[in-house]
Amino acid sequence: EKNLDEIKIIDCSWHMPNINRNGYEEYLKNHIENAIFFDLDNNSNQKTDLPHMLTDIINWEKIISNMGLRDIEIISHFLSVDEEGTESSLDILKAREFDAVIHLGLSRNSEKILLERYATNMISMELPDNSGRMVKKSKILENASERIETTVSIHNFDEEFEHDKDVQLSHIAGSYVCNETYFKTLSGLSHSTIPILFIHLPKMSKISLNRQAEVVSRAIRLMVTRPKLTVVGAMIRDLNG
């Protein structure tokens, strides 16, 4: 019983196509508490005509990694690329409690997925934003720090993505609205302990949407899952006790 919290229940319900039943829809209506749904059709080998064949080890690891998001409630908002969007982000975050905050933005010139370590207190535009605003070399917030660091564990992210050649830790989030949003979020929630991260994504012609989604899923799981620590203690005593 002491290890019950470590048990993972996987629901692999699947029905013959001609009986008009959907395993995932039935899972959403009713399932064993804390069970995770495993889609046999989508998670099997897609390169063979035989049904439900085991995939290769690389894809299998990705599938198992992404399954951890099934029990995570994700609330998404699309922000306008302007000052109003940067303000509405903070309003949303202050309206309710969140366990983590992840901002996603497009980096047109990047060929990798960038995990932004810092947001800088500077906005300088080469192109106007959606409202027509054009700002050059101006502080985002007066009387604020020049730079604010993400609140996620850099050590954990280094370990998670050290072998992913298309994922890179970035130290400069640019000077456009993405950086402005990131800086305002970190500054506005400076007294909070929740993990906050901005990820810049490249064009899909550089990295596929499926791959980008996989990396973002792993980042989310890493942000909301507390690491388990194993502590070993010992006491040394001399002859006098």
pLDDT digits (tens, 9 = 90+) for 210-227: 788 888 888 988 898 766
pTM over 0.75: no
Residue 48 clears pLDDT 80, i.e. is over it: yes
Distance CA(87)–CA(100), nearest Å, equals 18
> Per-residue confidence at 52, pLDDT binned at 50, 70, 90?
confident
- Which has the minimum average pLDDT: 18-22, 34-38, 92-96, 171-175? 34-38
Phi, psi of 221, rounded to the nearest 5 degrees? -60, -40
Which residues pair with residue 102 across a beta bridge? 197
Residue 70 clears pLDDT 60, i.e. is over it: no
Cα angle value 154/108/158 (rounded, 5°): 15
Q: What is the pLDDT of residues 86-114, one digit of tens each?
A: 888 888 888 888 889 999 999 989 999 99
Residue 155 clears pLDDT 80, i.e. is over it: yes
C-alpha distances out from residue 13 to 29, 35, 44, Å:
13, 12, 14
User: In the numeric block, which tokens belong to residue 113?
Assistant: 């997925």
